[in-house]
Amino acid sequence: MTGDAHVFDRTTFDRQLGGDRALALQILQMFIEDCPARVAAIKRAVEEGDAGALQTAAHTLKGSAGYLAAAFVVEAAAELERIGRDGRLADAPSAVNRLERAVVQLMPEIERATLA
Amino acid sequence: MAKPREECIKVLVADDDRIAAAVLAQTLSRWEFDVTVVGDGAEAWRHLEGVAAPTLAVLDRMMPGLDGAEICRRVRRDMPSANMYLVLLTSLGRGEDVVSGLDAGADDYVTKPFDVDELRARIQVGVRVVTLQEKLSQRVSELQAALTNVKQLHGLLPICSYCKRIRGDDQYWQQVESYIAARSDAQFSHGICPPCYEKLEVEIEEQRRKMRPRRPQ
């Protein structure tokens, strides 16, 4: 089964890494380890009403997800980064939901990619 | 066969995101660079101002401590003659970061997530620039050294009107030939010119005459 390229674009991911399989595995493992803490940092910043911390945490997740070519997570994190930068914290909860949905879709895809 | 580490160009990678740092470090190592990775701006600055500073640096625009643009500003302000090529990593759609980063002293930028081929092309530009810069500085030093010698030979030289010795910078009087030989590529072969020969011949003849035994009266 081929996953949705907007969830995880395997072809772009491999091309961005120059076809280095060992590096690809390392990056996928790092993302699996780091992603829960990144999402938790975003939720904590929203709960605490800290726009600056939200912008930073969302920026980092956006960067990591970019290397995975995980478009949905990138878009949701970019939206949260903008919300943090503009201080529009009222818009944050729905954007956090969108991010969590994207992450739930992404994780099984990259788990599968580590086994392939 | 891989190059020995000391022959590889040193690159500093500074990114607080360990995924971005790993991708950069691994990719640059594969291209035979000697890569050092740091996770924040303050540590990046310590490396750049250290004695074994890298020639190339890839700096994340947004980092805790010092951000990439601030590091570029400091390098250009505090080390104006340093031969260092600075590449900023910026996020897609942040055009204002590119402008402020280049204004701060970055030489180039790469948008994250970067494409490996684009990164390679941009890093190659950096290598070309630093290599050219290094050759130019070397040539300037050689020319400066040559110019210093020429100046010494063209300057005002105190010379003794009788023995023709020259007083050097160390205040010692030395033979004109040793003075010139030390400051140029000239070499001397010694001989006697015709006017001096004539004078010398007269002197020798006079000496001979003096030394001849006198006839008893």
B166-181 confidence digits (pLDDT tens): 998 888 999 988 888 8
pLDDT tens for chain A, 116 residues long, are 456 889 999 999 998 888 889 999 999 999 999 999 999 999 999 999 999 999 989 998 999 999 999 999 999 999 999 999 999 999 999 999 999 999 999 999 999 999 87
pLDDT at A1: 42
Q: Return the closest-CA partner of residue B54 out of B70, B67, B38.
A: B38
pLDDT at B92: 66
| B21: containing domain | 5-140
**Confidence category of residue B152, pLDDT binned at 50, 70, 90:** low
Return the structure tokens found at B76.
């250009």
Cβ partners under 8 Å of residue B1, min gap 6 = none
Q: Are residues B123 and B194 in the same domain?
A: no
Architecture of the domain delimited by A10-115? Up-down Bundle (1.20)
Return the structure tokens found at B91.
């996020």
Residue B79 lies in a domain: yes
- Alpha-carbon gap, residue B98 to B84, rounded angstroms: 19
Residue B217 lies in a domain: no
Three-state SS across B138-186? HHHHHHHHHHHHHHHHHCCCCECCCCCCEECCCCCEECHHHHHHHHCCC
Return the structure tokens found at B19.
């995924």
Average pLDDT on B46-53 reads 92
Domains identified in chain B, total number? 2
pLDDT at B116: 84
Q: Are residues B51 and B134 in the same domain?
A: yes
Asked, as a colleague might, if the bond just before B80 is cis with ω within 30 of 0, I would say no
CB pairs under 8 A between A and B: 57
Say yes or no for a CB contact (<8 Å) between B115 and A20: no
Q: Are residues B134 and B173 in the same domain?
A: no
Return the structure tokens found at B158.
């105190």
Cβ partners under 8 Å of residue B66, min gap 6 = B40, B41, B42, B44, B45, B74
Say yes or no for a CB contact (<8 Å) between B62 and A59: yes
Lowest mean pLDDT among B85-89, B128-132, B155-159: B155-159
**Confidence category of residue B216, pLDDT binned at 50, 70, 90:** low
Could you tell me if A69 and A110 are in contact, meaning their C-beta atoms sit under 8 angstroms apart? no
Residues of A with CB under 8 A from a CB of B: 15-18, 20, 23, 26-27, 30-31, 34, 56, 59-60, 62-64, 66-67, 69, 78
**Count, residues in chain A:** 116
Average pLDDT on B128-147 reads 91
Q: Are residues B103 and B173 in the same domain?
A: no
Instruction: Give B142: exposed, middle or buried? Use CB within 10 Å, 0-12, 13-18, 19+.
Output: exposed
Q: Are residues B132 and B171 in the same domain?
A: no
Average pLDDT on B88-98 reads 80
For the domain that residue B45 is a member of, what is the CATH number?
3.40.50.2300
Return the structure tokens found at B87.
């590449």
Q: Are residues B67 and B114 in the same domain?
A: yes
- Alpha-carbon gap, residue A93 to A14, rounded angstroms: 33
Say yes or no for a CB contact (<8 Å) between B22 and A23: yes
In this prediction the pTM is 0.74
Residue B128 has pLDDT above 50, yes or no: yes
- Alpha-carbon gap, residue B213 to B145, rounded angstroms: 61
- Alpha-carbon gap, residue A64 to B18, rounded angstroms: 8
| Boundary-marking domain end, from B140, B158, B191 | B140
| Shortest Cα–Cα distance, B12 to chain A (Å) | 19
| Integer angstrom CA distances of residue B137 from B74, B85, B134, B150 | 22, 15, 5, 20
| Boundary-marking domain end, from B105, B140, B175 | B140
Residue B112 lies in a domain: yes
In the chain, the amino acid numbered B3 is: K
In the chain, the amino acid numbered B57 is: A
Average pLDDT on B102-120 reads 90
Average pLDDT on B181-187 reads 81
- Alpha-carbon gap, residue B158 to B171, rounded angstroms: 10
| Shortest Cα–Cα distance, A64 to chain B (Å) | 6
Lowest mean pLDDT among A14-18, A108-112, B2-6, B9-13: B2-6
| Integer angstrom CA distances of residue B213 from B156, B205, B207, B216, B217 | 51, 14, 12, 9, 12
Residue B150 lies in a domain: no
Q: What is the pLDDT of residues B71-84, one digit of tens each?
A: 999 999 999 989 99
Q: Are residues B123 and B182 in the same domain?
A: no
Q: Are residues B37 and B96 in the same domain?
A: yes
Residue B155 lies in a domain: no
Q: Which residue of A has its CA nearest to B89?
A: A63
| Shortest Cα–Cα distance, A9 to chain B (Å) | 13
Percentage of residues of chain B with pLDDT beyond 90: 60
Say yes or no for a CB contact (<8 Å) between B23 and A18: no
